[in-house]
Amino acid sequence: MIDLERLGPEHADAILAGQDTALAAEIVGERWSRAHLDSFLARAAGWRADGPIREFAGRGGGAHGGAGVLLGGGGLNLLDPGLERGEAALTYWILAPHRRRGHGRDLVSALVAHARDEARISRLVLRIAPTNDASCALARSLGARRTGERERHPADAARAVDRWILDLRRHQQHRER
């Protein structure tokens, strides 16, 4: 199980220690420097909890009900290029030492549940590199579908990503059956 909390400056050390080349490429195109990460985390901490851009930290593995370690994070962004009314961009990442243990599924499930609780979000847009097999499998397991559209990678315009859609209303109907 993963608990979500607002992403902020207190997560910097764990992110810097747990980032690798794969994570850096997916998030910002290069490894975070302390200065750039601190600047981003300070901005993220200042965003409204109910605002159009939210970044979360995912913690888990805490002993005796404790908060646990930072496993990864993700975001819900209603102000991303190419989004229509009712859509939010869903992002997620797992720090290198915690991959291949099912944490990605737990993290994304928590983010999807958070999005489902918001009346203004009816569809999630995932932008996944075609070579990211783990992320494609995760999206598919949640019921997201690849649209067949290619877009520029958010962190690197020289790379392409596939657009996936998770319809929360349809997903909710399937869960209620």
Number of domains in the chain: 1
Amino acid at 137: A
Number of H helices, E strands in the chain: 6, 7
The pTM of the full predicted model, rounded to 2 decimals, is 0.88
Q: Which residues contact 51 (CB under 8 A, 6 or more apart)?
A: none
Q: pLDDT 10s per residue in the chain (177 long)?
A: 899 999 999 999 999 999 998 888 777 778 889 999 999 999 999 898 888 999 999 999 755 444 689 999 999 999 888 899 999 999 999 999 999 888 999 999 999 999 999 999 999 999 998 988 999 999 999 999 999 999 988 777 888 999 999 999 865 544 444
Residue 31 sits at φ, ψ, to 5 deg, of -60, 145
Helix (H) or strand (E) holding 146: strand 145-152
* Domain range enclosing 163: 3-176
* CB contact at 8 A, 122 and 134: no
Q: What is the CATH number of the domain that holds 148?
A: 3.40.630.30
Query: Helix (H, G, I), strand (E, B), or coil: what is residue 24?
Result: helix
- The pLDDT of residue 63: 52
DSSP codes of every residue in 73-127 = EEEEESS-TTPPTTEEEEEEEE-GGGTTSSHHHHHHHHHHHHHHT-TT--EEEEE
